[in-house]
A and B are shown apart, each in its own frame.
Chain A
């Protein structure tokens, strides 16, 4: 079944969408698509069929998001913890993923028409090589599209993502691109797999479970979390509207918390820069305490240098990640 479902909303859905759009709308929604297996049990289907239905529901949800002008969606497709399931189920999921990515490549014209950019986040080297190659092709093919964005988290957990970000920063230090003192919250955020996206405004988890399951822990620190008891394959347009309404009700207080946090971050960065400058002046000064003007000049200079260093490092990181995908694409396809 296709990734893209065409079709408009019916009249009632259109009216409700317009009413919701009169208020603040989330620009990035994340879904934990839980409940496929329970759905399969409930309908006496095979588990595999449950996962298939789950994928169909994903395509439908993307259509709703498009009509609601939500440009970015992130989904939790496969956790590193899921590798612990039975070999049969894991192989089945890998096979499903392969089919879906192959299908995606067949639909590339349609994807271009709708401007869909697909990104896959996770420790992809844990996946079978043929799946990695398919993923790389999908990512490279849709890289330039910019109307809407779908981030699929595959072989992903938040802890691995954060650890990877720390490793990348350490790599930057090893390469002499940045200093250890440049490490900050915003730099770490730029090194995550999701660095090309803004933080999710809304996180929705289905099937009634109330836990985070190691998904986007860093990015959802100031997001609206909504837990709904419906099983994922049974998700409806009205469930989505309900979640968005929750977001709208809490919008102001979340905005306030975000702004406070950003102010605090900026202050911390300023203090860190000041401390570095003070240390520098102490070491290279001539024993006399520097006057306020000299300190201020040194601070501005240091901040500018730091920002340049960080930019160069992030460019190098981006290049490294793009090469990973391009290299996979240029490998001969396994027959």
Chain B
């Protein structure tokens, strides 16, 4: 009987694998077939939405010259940048911090660099890149080169970024599109960094500098958020800010969203 169930189980797994393969094959085929039909259907469906739905987008583009610190010139790059940023703002919610977990055995630097640049273009301030073997950490100069290369290709010039206040009058809608920061993480930045913080705390307790009762969630939080520091394995700091201006980012955004812990959510 056990043998029969064993066989049935293997058959079940086989069916699931076949199903997954079929679905991904179909998806690829449909994408090319869907191409023209899909585009027309989408255009037909979205036209009324486009006419009625995103008036804010148009308004903001028109208001830009008044609101921004840098006046929008007739420059093509600035126009594209403004469009990307307003695309981002047209979304109901835009993440402040995006994390990329790359699980491939041999990650593609150009694909990751593309993702990072697209995030920055749309207005996402913080991007973290992680892979399970620490490959990006070890080769972070190569990743940085790739990002800068993609930036140039897209005409997204890092040196032109500065703090822009896209305001439509009320304080609530101030969007600080500040300098994008890319952080490269490896497994050492996970549990190991918490253990190191714990060791630091215990050492200070050993030296009678503090008591165990003083330890709180916020104390650990502060220790873990300490500014990017060079590690022994990678002397070059692996946290870049892709802008040559040195304007400080808003602390409010930091406290709210961009956290190295997951943000607590109600269950």
A interface vs B, CB < 8 Å? Answer: 18-23, 32-34, 76, 78-82, 84-85, 157, 159-160, 162-163, 165-171, 173-174, 179-181, 183-185, 188, 211-215, 217-218, 221, 245, 248-249, 257, 264, 268
Are B267 and A174 in touch, CB under 8 angstroms?
Answer: no
Partner of A221, one of B190, B195, B201: B190
Residues of A within 8 A of B213 (CB): 167
Among B3-11, B48-56, B226-234, B249-257, the one that faces the other chain is B3-11
Residues of A within 8 A of B25 (CB): none
Chain B residues bordering chain A, tally (CB within 8 A): 37
A78-B267, A82-B266 given; 20 more Cβ-contact pairs under 8 Å: A19-B12, A22-B6, A33-B267, A81-B265, A81-B266, A159-B264, A160-B217, A162-B194, A163-B220, A166-B220, A169-B198, A170-B202, A170-B215, A179-B206, A183-B199, A184-B195, A188-B194, A249-B16, A257-B132, A268-B192
Are A34 and B202 in touch, CB under 8 angstroms?
Answer: no
Cβ of B32 within 8 Å of any chain A Cβ, yes or no, is no
Cβ of B244 within 8 Å of any chain A Cβ, yes or no, is no
Contacts A174-B211, A213-B267; A163 near B9 (Cβ below 8 A):
no
Closest approach, in angstroms, between the C-beta of A185 and any C-beta of chain B?
5
Closest to B266 in A: A81
Closest approach, in angstroms, between the C-beta of B72 and any C-beta of chain A?
37
A215 to B5, CA, bound (A): 35
Residues of B within 8 A of A162 (CB): 194, 220
Are A211 and B199 in touch, CB under 8 angstroms?
Answer: no
B interface vs A, CB < 8 Å? Answer: 2, 5-6, 8-9, 12-13, 16, 132, 187, 190-192, 194-195, 197-199, 201-203, 205-206, 211-213, 215-217, 220-221, 261-262, 264-267
Are A245 and B206 in touch, CB under 8 angstroms?
Answer: no
Residues of B within 8 A of A78 (CB): 267
A170 to B214, CA, bound (A): 10
Closest approach, in angstroms, between the C-beta of B164 and any C-beta of chain A?
30
Are A245 and B266 in touch, CB under 8 angstroms?
Answer: no
Residues of B within 8 A of A171 (CB): 212
Contacts A79-B266, A170-B201; A19 near B217 (Cβ below 8 A):
no
Are A211 and B212 in touch, CB under 8 angstroms?
Answer: no
Closest to A83 in B: B266
Residues of B within 8 A of A34 (CB): 267
Closest approach, in angstroms, between the C-beta of B1 and any C-beta of chain A?
8
Contacts A22-B8, A167-B215, A212-B262; A218 near B191 (Cβ below 8 A):
yes
Closest approach, in angstroms, between the C-beta of A177 and any C-beta of chain B?
12
Partner of B12, one of A163, A213, A215, A245: A245
Are B264 and A81 in touch, CB under 8 angstroms?
Answer: yes
Are A217 and B262 in touch, CB under 8 angstroms?
Answer: yes
Partner of A82, one of B8, B262, B267: B267
A90 to B171, CA, bound (A): 33
Are B267 and A173 in touch, CB under 8 angstroms?
Answer: no
Contacts A179-B206, A218-B191; A166 near B201 (Cβ below 8 A):
yes
A286 to B157, CA, bound (A): 61
A80 to B217, CA, bound (A): 13
A254 to B197, CA, bound (A): 27
Partner of A19, one of B8, B205, B211: B8
A85 to B194, CA, bound (A): 30
Closest approach, in angstroms, between the C-beta of B98 and any C-beta of chain A?
14
Are B262 and A163 in touch, CB under 8 angstroms?
Answer: no
Are B198 and A188 in touch, CB under 8 angstroms?
Answer: yes
Closest to B190 in A: A221
Are A23 and B266 in touch, CB under 8 angstroms?
Answer: no
25 contacts between A and B (CB under 8 A): A19-B8, A23-B13, A80-B264, A82-B266, A157-B264, A159-B221, A159-B264, A163-B216, A163-B220, A166-B198, A169-B198, A170-B205, A173-B212, A174-B211, A179-B206, A185-B191, A188-B194, A213-B264, A213-B266, A214-B261, A214-B265, A218-B194, A245-B16, A249-B16, A264-B187
